[in-house]
């Protein structure tokens, strides 16, 4: 039988149906489809796909096991490198990472590596197998992990498996970081996936301390000098929203995407009145930005009852930073893309509520420092967009609390913590950092890769420290 150059389609909910619910859009492969997709793998002698994976999953090996219907073996192989496979299989941009290097992609479509990873993880979780706890030595070193997002969870899981007593300190009332507050239920189910993945790490012996704001309840120095932690990993992400600085951003009805998604995902606004945390979504909503977070905010607003939702982005569709899959899903659901358009003012009524947004049309000039063509305003092209809610999704930065309360911790001009790219070591001995707090906002899998690097470096640091007395 000839090898198919197209990957097997991912079954999804009907667009008209899913636009009115928060159930997962992508339904996942069944067993026969997963095996058929695995059979597309060429099993190259020198597999290129592995070099595109930030956590170095042995991709050909786990795919071979799916092909042989050894699904337990497949997930065991993945978990050697990836602590959150059910998460990564859903939200990682495989098309720009592992699948980008697949040989099949040169003539057709890459093997659906992410879809197969999700299948293996979901199959494992459906069996509800017990995770075996780690037996810690009496003199095991203690490591504090600040932040329970992807980098913190990855670091904590690896360190526990290496025999360290790990405590994760999380500022919010639920663990998971951006996995819990930032990514909508319809892309990443919280109970079915995030909670289960965190429970598996907890069962290893990792302790979670919630409602614990580092820099307020305790400092990094206090953790090491008073609480007896031998090393600290900082993985607090980049949760500080950025705004454009245009008139009207302080009007009622203007949200950062961070606030909007946190109130919906973490505080369950979408389940009001079961949860007493409603969020006001108007009839006409404009989301400023073109990344995955912008798509998440727009699609969430639609599900909360908005009649018309716009994506307002200053470049063309070719420059949209969001995953093509998410853009496609948004279009199918009826999101209105206003490209080559930039807001210049948010308009308010006499009571201080949003009533519209003044925009200007853009055209693309020469490439800027990012390599993308620079958007240039078209003189005299201003127009008003009638909206009553505006969601700003143009990026985030690091929260400054830890940096401001940790003497000797070097940071960049943007406020990110400076850390070695390979070891994640900071300027402060025994303190390591990784993920978005170092790189700025990036992907889940890149943050996890940093967590794994940090865990390996902390292991080396503590062994050396122990040896030297």
* Any domain includes 3: no
Are both 272 and 385 inside the same structural domain? yes
Are both 195 and 261 inside the same structural domain? no
Going by C-beta distance under 8 Å and a sequence separation of 6 or more, which residues neighbour residue 330? Answer: 295, 298, 299, 311, 337
Are both 77 and 38 inside the same structural domain? yes
Tokens coding 108: 């057709």
pLDDT class for 370, splitting at 50, 70, 90? confident
Are both 295 and 262 inside the same structural domain? yes
Q: Is 180 helix (H, G, I), strand (E, B) or coil?
A: helix
Distant-in-sequence contacts of 326-331, Cβ < 8 A, 24+ apart: 326/187, 326/292, 326/295, 326/296, 327/295, 329/12, 329/15, 329/25, 329/295, 329/299, 330/295, 330/298, 330/299
Host domain of residue 297: 243-392
Cβ-based burial of 377 (10 A; exposed 0-12, middle 13-18, buried ≥19): middle
Where residue 56 sits, what CATH number does that domain have? Answer: 1.10.1060.10
Are 66 and 32 a contacting pair, CB within 8 Å?
Answer: no
Q: Mean pLDDT, to the nearest integer, of 69-97?
A: 94
pLDDT single digits (tens) 187-199: 999 999 999 999 9
* Any domain includes 7: no
* Any domain includes 135: no
* Any domain includes 93: yes
Task: Provide the pLDDT for residue 2.
Answer: 62
Are both 332 and 430 inside the same structural domain? no
Are both 28 and 90 inside the same structural domain? yes
Q: Mean pLDDT, to the nearest integer, of 289-304?
A: 97
Going by C-beta distance under 8 Å and a sequence separation of 6 or more, which residues neighbour residue 157? Answer: 83, 201, 204, 206
Indicate the residue among 76, 103, 127 that finishes a domain.
127
Are 275 and 269 a contacting pair, CB within 8 Å?
Answer: yes
Tokens coding 28: 């996942």
Indicate the residue among 392, 413, 434 that finishes a domain.
392
Are 236 and 146 a contacting pair, CB within 8 Å?
Answer: yes
pLDDT single digits (tens) 31-59: 999 999 999 999 998 899 998 999 999 99
Tell which residue, 94, 105, 14, has the closest CA to residue 55.
94
Helix (H) or strand (E) holding 195, with range, is none
Are both 265 and 375 inside the same structural domain? yes
Are both 198 and 215 inside the same structural domain? yes
CA 211 to chain CA mean position, Å: 21
pTM over 0.85: yes
* Any domain includes 363: yes
Q: What is the mean pLDDT of the chain?
A: 94
CA 237 to chain CA mean position, Å: 10
pLDDT single digits (tens) 112-133: 999 999 999 999 999 877 788 8
* Any domain includes 9: no
Tokens coding 232: 């600290």
Are both 253 and 374 inside the same structural domain? yes
Are both 307 and 407 inside the same structural domain? no
* Any domain includes 5: no
Tell which residue, 237, 214, 222, has the closest CA to residue 398.
237
Are both 344 and 261 inside the same structural domain? yes
Q: How many domains does the chain have?
A: 3
* Any domain includes 406: yes
Are both 88 and 207 inside the same structural domain? no
Tokens coding 101: 């290097």
Indicate the residue among 360, 392, 424 that finishes a domain.
392
Where residue 267 sits, what CATH number does that domain have? Answer: 3.50.50.60
Q: Is 163 helix (H, G, I), strand (E, B) or coil?
A: coil
Residue in the structure block whose two tokens are 């302080």: 250
Task: Provide the pLDDT for residue 123.
Answer: 95
Are 19 and 302 a contacting pair, CB within 8 Å?
Answer: yes
Distance CA 53, CA 80 (A): 13
Distance CA 299, CA 341 (A): 19
């Amino acid at each position: 039988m000839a090898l198919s150059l197209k990957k097997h389609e991912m079954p999804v909910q009907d667009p008209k149906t899913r636009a009115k619910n928060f159930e997962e859009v992508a339904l996942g492969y069944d067993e026969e489809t997963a095996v058929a997709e695995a059979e597309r793998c060429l099993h190259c002698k020198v597999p290129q796909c592995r070099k595109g994976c930030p956590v170095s999953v042995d991709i050909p090996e786990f795919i071979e096991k799916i092909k042989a219907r050894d699904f337990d073996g497949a997930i065991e192989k993945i978990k050697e490198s990836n602590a959150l496979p059910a998460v990564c299989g859903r939200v990682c941009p495989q098309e720009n990472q592992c699948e980008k290097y697949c040989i099949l992609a040169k003539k057709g479509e890459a093997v659906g590596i992410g879809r197969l990873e999700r299948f293996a993880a979901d199959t494992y979780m459906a069996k509800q197998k017990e995770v075996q706890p780690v037996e810690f030595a009496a003199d095991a070193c203690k490591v504090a992990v600040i932040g329970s997002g992807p980098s913190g969870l990855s670091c904590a899981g690896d360190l526990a498996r290496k025999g360290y007593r790990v405590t994760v300190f999380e500022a919010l009332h639920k663990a998971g970081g951006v996995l819990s507050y930032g990514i909508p239920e319809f892309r990443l189910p919280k109970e079915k996936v995030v909670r289960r993945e965190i429970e598996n790490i907890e069962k290893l012996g990792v302790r979670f301390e919630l409602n614990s704001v580092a820099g307020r309840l305790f400092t990094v120095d206090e953790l090491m000098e008073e609480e007896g932690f031998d090393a600290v990993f900082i993985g607090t992400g980049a949760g500080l929203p950025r705004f454009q600085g245009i008139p009207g951003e302080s009007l009622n009805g203007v949200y950062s995407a961070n606030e909007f998604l946190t109130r919906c995902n973490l505080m369950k606004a979408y389940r009001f009145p079961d949860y007493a945390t409603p969020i006001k979504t108007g009839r006409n909503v404009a989301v400023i930005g073109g990344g995955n977070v912008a798509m998440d905010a727009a699609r969430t607003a639609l599900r909360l009852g908005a009649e018309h939702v716009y994506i307002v982005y200053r470049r063309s569709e070719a420059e949209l930073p969001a995953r093509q899959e998410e853009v496609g899903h948004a279009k199918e659901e009826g999101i209105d893309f206003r490209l080559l358009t930039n807001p210049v003012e948010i308009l308010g009524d006499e009571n201080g509520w949003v009533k519209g947004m003044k925009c200007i049309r853009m055209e693309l000039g020469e490439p800027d420092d990012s390599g993308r063509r620079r958007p240039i305003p078209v003189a005299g092209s201003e127009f008003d967009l009638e909206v009553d809610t505006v969601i700003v999704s143009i990026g985030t930065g690091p929260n400054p609390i830890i940096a401001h309360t940790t003497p000797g911790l070097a940071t960049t001009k943007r406020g990110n913590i400076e850390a070695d790219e390979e070891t994640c070591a900071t300027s402060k001995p025994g303190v390591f950092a990784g993920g978005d707090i170092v790189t700025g906002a990036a992907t889940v899998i890149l943050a996890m890769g940093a967590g794994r690097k940090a865990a390996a470096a902390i292991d080396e640091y503590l062994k050396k420290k122990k040896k030297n007395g």
